[in-house]
Structure 1
Amino acid sequence: MVLLSITITAKNEAPVIDKVLNNLVEQLNDLNYEMILIDNWSTDNTFQLLKKYENEYIKVFRYKGSKGSARNFALKNADGKYVMALDADQIYLNLDKFLKDYFSTYSSYAVKIGRSSFPIISPKELLMNVGGWRDLQFGEDWDLWFRLAEACKYVYLADYDWVFGEHIRDHKNNYSSIISRIRKYMIKYRDLYIVGLPVYSQNIYDKFFYRLGRVLSFFNSEKKIVYNCTKYLEMPIDKMGSEIDWDLQFHYNLIKYQLLTCKNKTIFLEILSKIDNYLKRNYGIM
C-alpha cells in the first residue's frame, strides 16, 4: 500500500511547475509515495509539462472545475493511506523532517502548518469522512478546516516556517483584464460568505463585493453552512502584548474551540501551549 499521496492542483503554472516538482522529487526519494497531479484546465502548457513526469508513481489528470472540486478529484484518485495536499507555486523545504514529526506525533489528525501555503496533511479516510473539499474557488481550505475542527480532528502548528521556501507568484495576474478581476472578486466574496469566514476590510470596494457575494450565494450550488466553530474565530487572545493578524488568531481559536468542545483535550492543550510559545517569541505575550 502507498503510504503518502501528494496531491497538487495547477492552473497556468507553466513558468514554475518544473521547479516545484523537481524540488519535491529530490526530497522524497526514500519515501513510499505517489503524486496525483491535476491540471485544472490551464490555458498555457502546464498540462504538457505535467505529462513529462507521468510514470508508475506519478499520475496526471486534466480536470475542469473549482479549486476545491479539483482538490477533491485528486483526493478520490489517491491510493495513499495519507494525503498531503500542496500548492503548485510553493517551494517546500525539509519535508522529510516535517513528515517524521507528523507520522510520529499527529498521524491520526489533519494538520496545517506555518504561516504560508500548506493546505493540509491527513489520513485519507478522515478527509473522506468529512466530505473532502467543497466545490468552491476561494476559502475551500478554511471550509475543510472548519469541518475537521467540528470533528475534533484539526491541528494547527504555527512554528514550522522552516518548511517554506520561495512562494512564486510573479507570473500570476500580469495580464488579467478589469473584467476578469471584477469576476474574481465576485466569486471570492461569494465563496467567503458561503464558508462563513469573517471579512475585516474597511475598503468600500471589499464591502460592496462582500454584499454582492452574499446575493450571488443564493444562486450557487454550494450553500452556506453555519459551523459552530466560526462563532469562536474572533475571540480575543488573552495576554497579547501586540496585535496579531486574523489568520493566526483564527487558527488559535479553532484549536481553543476543540479544547472546549472535544472529549480528548490533551492534544489541544499541547498545541495551544506550543502556539503560546510561538506568540511569546514573535509577538510578545504580556
Structure 2
Amino acid sequence: MENKSDPLVSIIIPAYNSARFLRETLDSSLNQTYTRVEVILVNDGSTDNTPDIVPEYSGRIVYINQDNSGLSAARNIGFLASKGEYIVFLDADDVLLPHMIETLLPALLNDPSAGVAYGGYMQMDVNGMQFGGSSMDKTSGMIFRDMIQNVADMPVGSLIIRRCVFAKSGIFDPMLCQLEDVDMWLRLAYYHKFVFVPEYIFVYRQSENSMSRRWAEREPANRLIIKKWTVILEALNEPKQLIKPFRKRVRSHRTSQCIQDAFIHYKAGHNHIALRKMIAGVIRDPRYLANRGVVSILVRSMWGEFFKKQPCIKK
C-alpha cells in the first residue's frame, strides 16, 4: 500500500521500436515492492506498434510522444516531465527486479552525502534466458578516479539517483549517440558519492536491436567521449596519467562490445554479422583468441556461412 510520506521515485523509460519487450519492462516498473512510483514512457518516434501498447497502461503511466530525437534526448525529456525526488532510468528492453527500488533507496535515505546508489545486474538474451551476472566486487565512495580508469560497468537501469544531484550534473549529452551513460556517470562521480549495494536488482537484455546498440554510431561516439573527457580532465587539472588509461579503457570497451555483439548475433542466427564483428574484435585485440568461446563462435560462424554458400552440401 502506498504511503504518501514516502519519497516519490520516477522511472523514466525511453522507447524506440521496443514493442516486443515493452510490456515486460513496464510491468517490472509498475510491480515494484516499493509502491510510491511514477512511470514515464517516452516514445521516441517508434515506427513499430509501441503506441498500440500504451492504452493497456492508461492511468498507470505518464506517456510522452515525440519525433525521433535519440536516446539522450528522450531520457532528458522524461526527466523534465518527472516529479520524483529520486530517478531511475530504464531502457525499454530491460527489466527491474521487483525489489530494485526497495533495495537501493535506503542507501540514499540513510546517507545524505550519497548521490547515487547502484547494484548488481544479471543478463539475459532476447528469449529471456539468463546467462550471467555482474561482479559484486564493486566500490563505494568517491569513485571518479576508479571509474575514469576502468570505464563504468553500470548499465543504466542498475542505478537510482537523487534528483537534485542529477540536475546539478547536467542532462545526458545529446551529442553522444553511444556511451552517454558513461559520460553521465563520470560527471556524477566527480562531485558525488556512490554507494554500492551487493544485490542483483536489474536484468540487462542483450539484444541485437537494443536502443543502445547502434554499431554505426559507436565509433564516432567513442572518439567524441575521449576528446571530451581529455579536455575536461585537463581543465580540472587532473593528473595527465589519468587521460592515457581512460583512452585505453574506452578503446578496450569498444573491443569487448564488438565481441559481445558477435555472440548476440550468433545466437540470433545472423552468422555473417557475427563473423564480421568477431573478426573485427579479434583484430583489435588478438588476446581474445585465447578465449575458447570466442574461437568457437568464430569457427561456427565461418562454418555456417560456408554451408549457406554451398547449398548442395548437407550438414
Normalized against structure 1, the TM-score is what? 0.60
Deviations 1:91-132, CA, capped at 9 Å, x for gaps: 222212233334333674023433463343212122122211
Larger Rg: 2
> 1:185 deviation in Å?
3.3
Q: Who is 2:166 aligned against?
A: 127
Q: Who is 2:185 aligned against?
A: 145
- Does 2:102 match 1:92? no
Amino acid at match of 1:232: L
Deviations 1:223-242, CA, capped at 9 Å, x for gaps: 77723279637759xxxxxx
2: CA distance between counterparts of 1:108 and 1:85?
A: 18
- Does 2:41 match 1:37? yes
Amino acid at match of 2:28: N
Q: Who is 1:276 aligned against?
A: none
Q: Aligned pairs, how many?
A: 200
The answer to whether the 8 A contact 1:194-1:225 is kept is no
2: CA distance between counterparts of 1:37 and 1:130?
A: 23
The answer to whether the 8 A contact 1:145-1:154 is kept is no
Task: Could you tell me which runs of 5 or more consecutive residues in structure 1 were left unpaired when the two chains were aligned.
Answer: 174-180, 198-222, 237-245, 248-286
2: CA distance between counterparts of 1:75 and 1:62?
A: 14
Normalized against structure 2, the TM-score is what? 0.55
> 1:139 deviation in Å?
0.7
> 1:143 deviation in Å?
1.0
Structure with the higher fraction of residues in helix conformation: 2
> 1:154 deviation in Å?
4.7
Q: Who is 1:19 aligned against?
A: 24
1:97–1:147 CA distance, 2 compared to 1 (3 A): closer
Query: Within 5 Å, which residues of 2 pair with 1:125-274?
Result: 125-135=164-174, 136-150=176-190, 152-155=191-194, 157=196, 159-160=198-199, 162-165=200-203, 167-170=204-207, 172=209, 184-196=214-226, 226-228=231-233, 232=242
- Does 2:109 match 1:103? yes
1: CA distance between counterparts of 2:209 and 2:119?
A: 24
> 1:76 deviation in Å?
0.7
2: CA distance between counterparts of 1:171 and 1:60?
A: 26
1:36–1:99 CA distance, 2 compared to 1 (3 A): same
Amino acid at match of 2:29: L
Amino acid at match of 2:110: S
Amino acid at match of 2:111: T
Deviations 1:9-63, CA, capped at 9 Å, x for gaps: 11111111111211222224x52221111111111111221342131x5201112
> 1:83 deviation in Å?
1.1
Task: Could you tell me which runs of 5 or more consecutive residues in structure 2 were left unpaired when the two chains were aligned.
Answer: 121-133, 135-153, 247-251, 254-315
1:168–1:144 CA distance, 2 compared to 1 (3 A): closer
Identity of aligned residues (%): 23
Amino acid at match of 1:100: P
CA RMSD of aligned residues (A): 3.2
> 1:170 deviation in Å?
4.7
The answer to whether the 8 A contact 2:118-2:160 is kept is yes
The answer to whether the 8 A contact 2:12-2:75 is kept is yes
Amino acid at match of 2:109: F
Amino acid at match of 2:81: N
